[in-house]
Amino acid sequence: MKILVPVKRVIDYNVKVRVKQDQTGVELDNVKMAMNPFDEIAVEQALRVKEAGDADEIIIVSIGPIQSQETIRTGLAMGADRGIYIDAPHETEPLSVAKLLASVTEKEKPGLIMCGKQAIDDDNNQTGQMTAAILGWSQATFASSVSLTKDNAKVVREIDGGLETINIKLPAVITVDLRLNEPRYASLPNIMKAKKKPIDTLTTEELNVDVKPRLSVIKVEEPSTREAGIKVNSVEELVEKLQAEAKVI
């Protein structure tokens, strides 16, 4: 079985994001970029599935500018077998990404797509679900535990009320959550090996997918600064301020 793992190049989660002066987006020049942390967890889980003997090949897929190949190399250095880079002229929206992944899936015929539940830059949490819908595959989201059999997957999901365990048929799309695993560090020998692993390049035209943006960004703003709190001397004063100033009661 092949496992397809989509990964996204995002601003490193340790970096403070700055809004451009013209408020058209966030500053990306001279900013450290990295693999989306949730996608990194998906790569680690795919590797564990392969190490358990339940998969034969792991394919890393990334969509975006040419620098996205660096993100693919990170997945290859962790232990994936090969990569597919899809050249996209601009930021692609979740539906476009889902269509591209579905097109790649038709070519590669994987038995499982494993991806992060969301990207930390836009927080849409849509691509996995859309991909499953386009393919007509089973899906399990927010996975905190995954175990596979020949034709099924048992997935423990994180939900608002706690945990939910479901069984789904393969092929399937599984989106992973933070507590599924701890991703490994790539060793120096594996980093060197990754340089020789193949990365195929495709275009959106070859995959016959229209990635024209359907949404437009009007303005990007910094979050409002949180005001300092105050101490009150009595319950009566607290109630008065909640009524008169905060107007919440």
C-alpha dihedral (192, 15, 211, 98), degrees to nearest 10: 70
Count the Cβ atoms, other than its own, within 10 Å of residue 182. 9
Q: Are 89 and 150 in contact (CB under 8 A)?
A: no
Chain segment 98-140, per-residue pLDDT in tens: 999 999 999 999 999 999 999 998 899 999 999 999 999 999 9
Domain boundaries, the chain: 2-244
CATH 3.40.50.620 for the 2-244 domain, yes or no: yes
C-alpha dihedral (49, 54, 56, 59), degrees to nearest 10: -40
Binned at pLDDT 50, 70 and 90, residue 50 comes out as very high
- From the list 41, 44, 172, the residue with the least C-alpha distance to 111 is 172
For residue 168, pLDDT over 80 is answered with yes
Predicted TM-score of the model (pTM): 0.86
